[in-house]
Chain A
Amino acid sequence: MQKLNYRSHSLVPYLLLSPTFIVLLLFLYWPSINSVFLSLFKQAPFGRKRIFVGIQNYINLFQDPAYLNSLLRSTLFIIFTITIGLVFSLLLAVILNQNLKGIKFYRVIFFIPYAISPTVAGSLWVFLLNPVAGQVNYLLDLAFNIQVNWLTNSFFAFLAIIIATVWKNMGFNIIFFLAGLQAIPDSVYESAEIDGAGAITIFKDITIPLLSPTTFYLIIMNIIFSVFESFGIVDIMTQGGPADSTNIVIYKLYREMFINFRPGIAAAQSVILLTLVIIVTIFHFKYGSNNVHYQ
């Protein structure tokens, strides 16, 4: 079949693409390439002078206990936000998948936190968790007679940013789980019920496996979210503290560049993150559609 299109206007497509490519090349590609370049140099604070140091910045980073700690913290942060976030979101999505009058109203409510910025989410949770006037501690005191120093204790501060991140991203996860649940035909459940399977068995043996493509996609997206988007939450809630317990990689990178003024080291950290994103994306494209079966 002949593909009809505007063949005679051979320059038009390039003309249409040029504004987009000018922006992408100048502000996306060039800085990314420059990250690699910058990471090979050492620069005096505020100085114009650059000294080529090869991969020394990377060697220093991987020998720096603070950076290794930051990597470890980020890994734990990713694992916990994803596990807790996806379990909660799936349960809520199942509840929201009921065929009930007015269910759309509830769905809208559950999506609201996703529209809210990380900064605002951080601000709201800092208030809720503060020991003096916040309601969370009051309720904990009432129920279990305990007082938690949320943001001044390393463990609880770490938990606090996990809670805020899970809350903020839940809406996104629910949207995809809901779409996934609705794509499962009712006939599958019906035949399972005829076979005498109980609700829990159906959920465990049918719903969860059939949702695996959605879950896989969400894990990938949540890795990206927790690595990058949590910057605002950390900056408002903990500024990386106490004792670097919430100093996740993206926050450390920011401090290296804009507080310690070490562009070389900061660029090396950018390149490490970039490598991570590329690995995750390749993983996504390679295994996303093949290994996870949908019926």
Chain B
Amino acid sequence: MFDLNRGPYSTYKKIALHLVLIIISFIVLMPIIFGISVSMQPRAQIFSYPPSFLPDRLYFDNYIKAWNLVSLDKILVNSILASSVVMLGKLGLGVLSGYAFSHFEFKYKKFLFFAVLFTLMLPMQVRVVPLFEFISRLGLGNSFSGLVLPFLASATTTFLMRQHFLTIPKSIMESAQIDGCGPFRFLFQILLPLSGANLAGLAVVNFLVMWNAYLWPLIIINDDQKKLAQQGVKMLFASSSERDWGIIMAGTIMVVIPTLIVFLLAQKFFVKGIATQGIKE
């Protein structure tokens, strides 16, 4: 039925295709849909058998309870702050280093470029032990600086900014140089204004990466008031001993809502951002 020649289709076939796609979409979204549904059910309804697929009425108590249980106000603000700082850091440093690699010739350029790319092989998980000791020794344990510092530079962002800057025609730089435009003015007044879409895409991806980060915040932040969104999810499980699913799901949904908003607003950039990560050459 799914011809590989991709249409055109008869009306009957179109309807059949839509039906299949709707069913699969429902299955893909099932965990989220049921999560939202149960978050709006009172305890009695959740634990009645058979389980209800829809709430009887709009019921938001679980949201209020979850919000207070893990002080979501603080946690969400912390996460927005941390994700924004990391995003800005990665973009800022990525633009500068990408520019260095795209528009300058200097000694050890190849080696330094390789040294940046090599860090792709050093994920957080393999350096977490010494990094934790190092950050603690700097006196930055359980602090915002300790949380964000290790994330501020990124090989991917550097690489993608370089790739983008290389696509900007050489003639623009030549005329800028002839006009006596210095390297920094060239970057800020000519290159960056031509990079809006790329910066937006990288901003979205980098924001979400930090928003979704779990291992490092879990290790470095102990103070409940300083914790981030993903730790909030874990706290929901730890705090509600009897597995109050309504509250847990309400909290989970609140943690995922910013992700969904950012993703849906910028899904074009997001998909492009991921897809370009695959380009190695």
A207 to B4, Cβ gap below 8 A?
Answer: yes
Contact with A along B12-40 (1 / 0, CB 8 A): 00100110110011001111101100100
B96 to A100, Cβ gap below 8 A?
Answer: no
The interface size of chain B toward A, counting residues with CB under 8 Å, comes to: 106
Q: Restricting to B81-132, which residues have a CB under 8 Å from any CB of A?
A: 92-94, 96-97, 99-100, 103-106, 109, 112, 115-116, 119-132
What is the CA–CA distance of A164 and B35 in the complex, to the nearest angstrom? 14
| A interface: dominant SS | helix
Q: Given A20-B153, A231-B214, A123 and B123 touching (CB < 8 A)?
A: no
Residues in chain A near residue B131, CB distance under 8 A: 27, 31
Q: Restricting to B31-74, which residues have a CB under 8 Å from any CB of A?
A: 31-32, 34-35, 38, 46-47, 49-51, 53
A17 to B112, Cβ gap below 8 A?
Answer: yes
- The answer to whether B192 has its CB under 8 Å from any CB of chain A is no
The interface size of chain A toward B, counting residues with CB under 8 Å, comes to: 107
Q: Given A13-B104, A20-B153, A117 and B28 touching (CB < 8 A)?
A: no
- The answer to whether A34 has its CB under 8 Å from any CB of chain B is yes
B119 to A35, Cβ gap below 8 A?
Answer: no
Residues in chain A near residue B6, CB distance under 8 A: 97-99, 186
- The answer to whether B144 has its CB under 8 Å from any CB of chain A is no
Q: Given A20-B158, A35-B126, A120 and B17 touching (CB < 8 A)?
A: no
- The answer to whether B3 has its CB under 8 Å from any CB of chain A is yes
Q: Which residue from A19, A101, A108, A271 sits with its C-beta under 8 Å from B96? A: A19
Q: Given A106-B25, A113-B28, A127-B248, A190 and B5 touching (CB < 8 A)?
A: yes
B230 to A120, Cβ gap below 8 A?
Answer: yes
Nearest-CB distance from B66 to chain A (Å)? 12
What is the CA–CA distance of A171 and B46 in the complex, to the nearest angstrom? 30
Q: Restricting to A244-271, which residues have a CB under 8 Å from any CB of B?
A: 250, 253-254, 257-258, 263, 266-267, 270-271
A32 to B93, Cβ gap below 8 A?
Answer: no
Nearest-CB distance from B161 to chain A (Å)? 11
B275 to A179, Cβ gap below 8 A?
Answer: yes
Q: Restricting to A104-130, which residues have a CB under 8 Å from any CB of B?
A: 106, 108-128, 130
Residues in chain B near residue A24, CB distance under 8 A: 115-116, 119, 153, 155
What is the CA–CA distance of A13 and B248 in the complex, to the nearest angstrom? 50
Q: Given A13-B100, A112-B28, A189-B5, A119 and B234 touching (CB < 8 A)?
A: yes
- The answer to whether B224 has its CB under 8 Å from any CB of chain A is no
Contact with B along A1-44 (1 / 0, CB 8 A): 00111110110111011011101101111111011011000000
Across the interface, name the chain B residue whose C-beta is closest to A109. B25
Given contacts A117-B233, A121-B31, A199-B3, 19 further A-B pairs with CB under 8 A are A5-B103, A6-B183, A12-B183, A13-B109, A20-B153, A23-B149, A24-B153, A29-B119, A31-B129, A95-B2, A95-B17, A99-B7, A115-B259, A123-B252, A135-B30, A138-B49, A207-B4, A253-B128, A285-B280
| A residues whose Cβ falls under 8 Å from a Cβ of B | 3-7, 9-10, 12-14, 16-17, 19-21, 23-24, 26-32, 34-35, 37-38, 92, 94-103, 106, 108-128, 130, 132-135, 138, 167, 170, 172, 175-176, 179, 186, 189-190, 193, 199, 202-203, 207, 217, 224, 227-228, 231-232, 235-236, 250, 253-254, 257-258, 263, 266-267, 270-271, 273-274, 277-278, 281, 285, 288-289
